[in-house]
Amino acid sequence: MSRRTRRMVVSAVAGGLFALGVVAPGPAAAPLPRAAQADGPTVPEPREPRPPLLPADFQGTGRYIVRDLGIDVPFSWQGRDGNSQMTAGGPEHPIWFTNLIYENTLYTLTYRWPNIPLFPPRACSKIPGFFNRQIFNDKLKTARYVGPEILQGDQDRHVDHWRVGVVGGSTVPGEFFRFPIALGDIYVDQHDPSRWWQVLQFGLQNLFDPELDEWFTMDTFEHRPGEVTLPDRCPPPTP
């Protein structure tokens, strides 16, 4: 199994994905009001916004960034009828890979990466098991809400910041053995959680990067069907 087989599970998580150029999280807005006056009516506690959602049909463009390697390349993310494909870089860039959720199957194919030989060409990894958009969105429902923020760039974007992770070991609170596998910070539009603007990801899915740290930002994200194409190098999906 390829060392990048978990890239789609977390980065998408996955949760432009991901050019504002490099967009850094702006300062968080003031905390949501939670207090009530002792001698007055109770102030209703604000409702938590809806968690991120990957739509069935979409098109997005942006940048994919690996800062410790000095890499900043074009990025696209597209979806059609529940299938989706993200592509970073191309033949003329230092990195080039594509990940797909295609007909209930997860694929990852790395064409180019620093210190990875171009020949023989790397095989397309078809990840064992059943995986689709619904499973991905179910995982996003476990994300924790961090708060409202502003992504600063050519156009400031008001977003909700969410954090989702994959942890191995015990799920019981307390002094039990557990270890981190992957972590994703997802920034979605405050008015539409199915419109993604940035994802920061850290973890074992980024093993080709010495710092295990990569991210993507979006310039555009539209709700209209994109183009999703399974590369010829990839085996057909499991029936």
> Three-class SS string for the chain?
CCCCCCHHHHHCCCCCCCCCCCCCECCCCCCCCCCCCCCCCCCCCCCCCCCCCCCCCEEEEEEEEEHHHCEEEEEEEEEECCEEEEEEECCCCCCEEEEEEECCEEEEEEEECCCCCCCCCCCCEEECCCCCHHHHHHHHCCCEEEEEEEECCCCCEEEEEEEEEEEEECCCCCCCCEEEEEEEEEEEECCEEEEEEEEEEEEHHHCCCCCCEEEEEEEEEECCCCCCCCCCCCCCCCC
More confident residue, 35 or 189: 189
Indicate whether 78 belongs to any domain. yes
Per the domain annotation, does 236 fall within a domain?
Answer: no
Which of 14-28, 41-55, 67-81 is predicted with the least confidence, judged by mean pLDDT? Answer: 14-28
Residue 30 in any domain: the answer is no
pLDDT at 220 over 90: yes
Does residue 28 register a pLDDT over 50? Answer: no
Q: What is the mean pLDDT of residues 177-202?
A: 97
- What pLDDT shows up at residue 238? 82
What pLDDT, on a 0 to 100 scale, did the predictor assign at position 44?
62
Residue 80 lies in a domain: yes
Please write the tens of the pLDDT for every residue from 67-107: 999 999 999 999 999 999 999 999 999 999 999 999 999 99
Instruction: Look at residue 45 in the predicted model and tell me its pLDDT.
Output: 66
Task: Look up the domain containing 202 and give its range.
Answer: 7-20+50-222
**Picking from 30-34, 122-126, 142-146, which range would have the lowest pLDDT averaged per residue?**
30-34
Whether 204 is in a domain gets the answer yes
More confident residue, 42 or 103: 103
Q: What pLDDT is stored for residue 230 in this prediction?
A: 98
Number of domains in the chain: 1
Mean pLDDT, the chain, whole residue set: 86
